[in-house]
Structure 1
Amino acid sequence: MFQDEIVEEIHRIREEYSRSFNHDLKAIFADLQKQQAKSGREVVNLSRKRGITTRWSGRTKDLGEDAKDTSRRSI
């Protein structure tokens, strides 16, 4: 099987980083948040908003408790 040197290097670096936190996801997440805050870059939230209708169907996406179905089909 073909092994890409770049992919292998990424896997090695990721493993070393995880090992430095004893594979503790909470500690890794806290470190990544700290790095993000330190970077000064703007963080953009790309999550979908609830109750937004789709452009073509007119149906409400991600129907929540208070969202209604706006389709014109009769049941």
Structure 2
Amino acid sequence: MNDEIITEVHAIKDALSKRFKGDARAIFEDIKKGEEELRASGFKFVSPPENPTELPSSALQRNRFSHR
């Protein structure tokens, strides 16, 4: 299966790995730096819930298994 999205994700991963010589910490720090630049320009980030297991099931989750 040749999925365009998967191919693009792998290309980005390979480019980042090459740029930072495989240093995952440097990649993470670059991502965090980019987030801070976006915040400074007014972009708002939404934090994930602290305990997602306590959230109610979404309609998608309820429907996913209802047709079995």
> Which TM bucket (shorter chain)?
0.5 to 0.7
The corresponding residue for 2:45 is 43
Shift of 1:36: 0.3
- Cα distance between partner residues in 2 of 1:10 and 1:44: 23
Q: Which amino acid is the alignment partner of residue 48 of structure 2? A: L
Structure 2: state its 5+ residue gaps.
55-68
Give the structure-1-normalised TM-score. Answer: 0.52
Shift of 1:5: 2.6
Shift of 1:30: 0.8
Give the aligned length.
50
Structure 1 residues 1-75: aligned runs within 5 Å: 2-40=1-39, 41-48=43-50
Sequence identity percentage? 31
Shift of 1:26: 1.0
Give the secondary structure class of the aligned counterpart of 1:34: helix
Shift of 1:35: 0.3
Structure with higher RCO (Cα < 8 A, 6+ apart): 1
Give the structure-2-normalised TM-score. Answer: 0.56
Shift of 1:45: 2.7
Distance 1:9 1:46, change over 3 A: closer
Per-residue CA distance 1:22-52 (angstroms, 9 max, x = gap): 1111111110011001112223332426xxx
Q: Which amino acid is the alignment partner of residue 21 of structure 1? A: F
Structure having the larger proportion of residues in helix: 2
